[in-house]
Amino acid sequence: MPNDEQVHLAAEGFRLLADPTRIKILWALLQGESSVACLAELVGAAPTAVSQHLAKLRLAGLVRGRREGTFVYYSAADVHVQALLAEALFHADHTDRDIPDHARGDLLPHTRPTTSPTR
Protein backbone atom coordinates (compact mmCIF):
# COMPACT_ATOMS: atom_id res chain seq x y z
CA MET A 1 0.00 0.00 0.00
CA PRO A 2 1.42 3.45 -0.89
CA ASN A 3 1.94 5.87 1.97
CA ASP A 4 -0.35 8.86 2.55
CA GLU A 5 2.05 11.37 0.97
CA GLN A 6 2.38 9.28 -2.21
CA VAL A 7 -1.40 8.97 -2.45
CA HIS A 8 -1.84 12.71 -1.93
CA LEU A 9 0.75 13.60 -4.59
CA ALA A 10 -0.72 11.12 -7.08
CA ALA A 11 -4.24 12.48 -6.51
CA GLU A 12 -3.00 16.05 -6.96
CA GLY A 13 -1.29 15.08 -10.21
CA PHE A 14 -4.48 13.46 -11.52
CA ARG A 15 -6.51 16.49 -10.43
CA LEU A 16 -4.25 18.79 -12.42
CA LEU A 17 -4.41 16.51 -15.44
CA ALA A 18 -8.21 16.66 -15.42
CA ASP A 19 -8.17 19.52 -17.92
CA PRO A 20 -8.05 19.11 -21.72
CA THR A 21 -5.78 22.12 -22.22
CA ARG A 22 -3.25 20.81 -19.71
CA ILE A 23 -3.23 17.42 -21.41
CA LYS A 24 -2.56 19.13 -24.75
CA ILE A 25 0.21 21.22 -23.18
CA LEU A 26 1.87 18.14 -21.71
CA TRP A 27 1.53 16.24 -24.98
CA ALA A 28 3.22 19.12 -26.80
CA LEU A 29 6.00 19.19 -24.18
CA LEU A 30 6.59 15.47 -24.65
CA GLN A 31 7.54 16.32 -28.24
CA GLY A 32 10.23 18.71 -26.96
CA GLU A 33 10.96 21.85 -25.03
CA SER A 34 8.74 24.85 -25.81
CA SER A 35 7.97 28.44 -24.87
CA VAL A 36 4.61 29.76 -23.67
CA ALA A 37 3.96 31.51 -27.00
CA CYS A 38 4.63 28.36 -29.01
CA LEU A 39 2.52 26.23 -26.67
CA ALA A 40 -0.34 28.74 -26.87
CA GLU A 41 -0.35 28.45 -30.65
CA LEU A 42 -0.13 24.65 -30.56
CA VAL A 43 -2.98 24.15 -28.09
CA GLY A 44 -5.17 27.01 -29.32
CA ALA A 45 -5.24 28.98 -26.09
CA ALA A 46 -4.22 32.46 -25.00
CA PRO A 47 -0.62 32.79 -23.78
CA THR A 48 -1.84 34.04 -20.38
CA ALA A 49 -4.02 30.94 -19.96
CA VAL A 50 -1.15 28.65 -20.98
CA SER A 51 1.14 30.43 -18.54
CA GLN A 52 -1.36 29.84 -15.71
CA HIS A 53 -1.70 26.17 -16.64
CA LEU A 54 2.09 25.80 -16.73
CA ALA A 55 2.42 27.38 -13.29
CA LYS A 56 0.05 24.78 -11.84
CA LEU A 57 1.73 21.90 -13.67
CA ARG A 58 5.09 23.14 -12.44
CA LEU A 59 3.92 23.27 -8.82
CA ALA A 60 2.75 19.66 -9.15
CA GLY A 61 6.17 18.64 -10.48
CA LEU A 62 4.81 17.66 -13.91
CA VAL A 63 6.78 20.24 -15.92
CA ARG A 64 10.09 22.06 -15.57
CA GLY A 65 11.11 25.51 -16.72
CA ARG A 66 14.52 26.63 -18.00
CA ARG A 67 15.24 30.34 -18.24
CA GLU A 68 17.23 31.62 -21.20
CA GLY A 69 17.46 35.39 -21.20
CA THR A 70 13.93 36.76 -20.97
CA PHE A 71 12.32 33.50 -22.12
CA VAL A 72 11.37 30.41 -20.16
CA TYR A 73 11.36 27.10 -22.00
CA TYR A 74 9.24 24.32 -20.56
CA SER A 75 9.58 20.55 -20.74
CA ALA A 76 7.91 17.52 -19.19
CA ALA A 77 9.46 16.83 -15.78
CA ASP A 78 10.51 13.23 -16.42
CA VAL A 79 9.77 9.93 -18.15
CA HIS A 80 7.05 9.16 -15.59
CA VAL A 81 4.98 12.06 -16.91
CA GLN A 82 5.42 10.67 -20.42
CA ALA A 83 4.32 7.18 -19.34
CA LEU A 84 1.37 8.52 -17.34
CA LEU A 85 0.08 10.64 -20.20
CA ALA A 86 0.70 7.99 -22.86
CA GLU A 87 -1.19 5.36 -20.88
CA ALA A 88 -4.08 7.75 -20.19
CA LEU A 89 -4.35 8.49 -23.91
CA PHE A 90 -4.10 4.82 -24.83
CA HIS A 91 -6.84 4.04 -22.33
CA ALA A 92 -8.99 6.80 -23.88
CA ASP A 93 -8.27 5.42 -27.35
CA HIS A 94 -9.28 1.90 -26.29
CA THR A 95 -12.48 3.24 -24.73
CA ASP A 96 -13.30 5.52 -27.67
CA ARG A 97 -12.76 2.85 -30.33
CA ASP A 98 -14.02 -0.05 -28.19
CA ILE A 99 -10.70 -1.89 -28.47
CA PRO A 100 -10.50 -5.02 -26.29
CA ASP A 101 -8.25 -5.04 -23.25
CA HIS A 102 -4.71 -6.39 -23.46
CA ALA A 103 -3.86 -9.88 -22.33
CA ARG A 104 -3.12 -9.92 -18.59
CA GLY A 105 0.60 -10.49 -19.15
CA ASP A 106 0.84 -7.71 -21.75
CA LEU A 107 1.06 -4.76 -19.36
CA LEU A 108 4.09 -3.05 -20.87
CA PRO A 109 3.52 0.66 -21.52
CA HIS A 110 2.64 1.63 -25.05
CA THR A 111 5.12 3.64 -27.03
CA ARG A 112 2.82 6.06 -28.87
CA PRO A 113 -0.94 6.55 -29.12
CA THR A 114 -2.53 5.74 -32.47
CA THR A 115 -4.63 8.91 -32.39
CA SER A 116 -3.89 12.52 -31.67
CA PRO A 117 -4.76 13.84 -28.19
CA THR A 118 -6.48 16.79 -29.87
CA ARG A 119 -9.24 14.79 -31.51
Percent of the chain with pLDDT over 90: 61
Query: How many domains does the chain divide into?
Result: 1
Query: Has residue 91 been placed in a domain?
Result: no
Cross-strand bridge partners of residue 71:
68
Count other C-beta atoms under 10 Å from residue 116's C-beta: 10
Query: Has residue 24 been placed in a domain?
Result: yes
Query: Has residue 22 been placed in a domain?
Result: yes
Burial readout 79-114 (b: 16 or more C-beta within 10 A, e: otherwise): eebbebbbebbbeebeeeeeeeeeeeeeeeeeeebe
- Predicted confidence (pLDDT) at residue 106 exceeds the cutoff of 80: no
Provide the H-helix boundaries in 1-119. 4-17, 20-30, 36-43, 47-59, 79-96
111 or 12, greater pLDDT = 12
CATH code of the domain in which 66 resides: 1.10.10.10
Q: Which residues have C-beta within 8 Å of that of residue 57, sequence separation ≥ 6? A: 16, 22, 25, 26, 63
Range of the domain at 29: 4-77
**Which pLDDT tens digit goes with each residue over 8-30?**
999 998 999 999 999 999 999 99
Query: Has residue 68 been placed in a domain?
Result: yes
Query: Has residue 89 been placed in a domain?
Result: no
Mean pLDDT in residue range 70-94: 90
Confidence (pLDDT) at 70: 93
Query: Has residue 44 been placed in a domain?
Result: yes
Query: Has residue 85 been placed in a domain?
Result: no
Query: Has residue 25 been placed in a domain?
Result: yes
